Amino acid sequence: MAKIIVVTSGKGGVGKTTSSAAIGTGLALAGHKTVIVDFDIGLRNLDLIMGCERRVVYDFVNVINGEANLKQTLIKDKRTDNLFILPASQTRDKDALTREGVEKVLNELAKDFDFIICDSPAGIESGAMMALYFADEAVVVTNPEVSSVRDSDRILGMLSSKSRRAEQGLEGIKEHLLLTRYNPERVEKGEMLSVEDVKEILAIELIGVIPESQAVLNASNSGQPVILDKDSDAGQAYLDTIKRLLGEQVPFRFLTVEKKGFIKRIFGG
C-alpha cells in the first residue's frame, strides 16, 4: 500500500512545488515508484517545474469526473525511472475536487505506487484541505521568517484536527519540517530566524534545510527538479532530505557561514 505524503505550507511562495518535485524525484531515484499529484487547481505549476507542460492532455479533474482514466492522464518523467506526474487543471475551480473523487483516485494510485506526493496549494482553502485530508505524513515547508513560521503553525493545527486519521481516531499524521531559503549570513545579522528558532516554535522533526541558492531558480526556469543538480548546494540538501525521509541518519549541512580563504578575502567572491 502506498504512503501518502502531503507537501504543505501556510504561506505561498515558500518553495512548496519545488520541494514536491525534488522529493518525488528523490524517492524515485532511490528506487521507489512515485507519483506527484498537483492539487493546485487553477494555478497549475508542477508540470512547469517538471518540464512536462507540453505533454498535459488530461488532468486530475478529468479523472475525478470520469472523462479520462489514469493511464491516459499520468505523465511519465523522461529523466527518472519510476516517476510519474498527475497534473492539475488550469481551467477549473478548486471546488472541482470532491472528497469522494479524490479518495477514489488516490485508492487507484495506491495499487501501483510506493509513494504518492500531494503538492498542496498554500493556506487552508478547500484544495489545501483536500490534499492534507488523506495524508499519512506531511512535509511542512517554511521560510525562516516570522510570518511564514506562524502560518505553518496554523497548518500543523489543521493536520492534527482535520485529517482522516484525526477523524477516525488513528495515529496522527507524521509531521516533518523542511526549512527553505536558509541564509546563514542573514541569520548572523539577525535578519532571519535560525534553525533552532524555527524548531523551537514549531516543535516538529526537522527533515531538511535547503540553502538560498540560484540553482533553485535556474532549475525551475529549465523545467528540471533541482535535486538533479547534484553539484549545487540545494540539490545536495534535497538529497540529504530524502535520505532522512527514508530513515537514514544524515548530518545537516549549509547551516553556517562559509569561511572565506585568504584569496577570496583579498579579491572578493
Using CA atoms of 23, 24, 28, 30 in order, give the dihedral in degrees to the nearest 10: 20
For 175, the grid coordinates are 509531521
CA 39 to CA 213: how far, in whole Å?
26
Q: How far is CA 146 from the centre of its chain?
A: 20
Phi-psi group of 247: left, alpha or beta (phi > 0 → left; psi -120 to 50 → alpha; rest → beta): left
- Give binding residues for ATP as ranges: 11-18
Going by C-alpha positions, the residue among 68, 66, 70, 1 that lies closest to residue 33 is: 1
- Give binding residues as ranges: 11-18
Q: From residue 260, give the alpha-carbon distance in Å to each of 156, 192, 264, 266, 268.
A: 39, 21, 6, 10, 9
DSSP-based three-state secondary structure for 77: coil
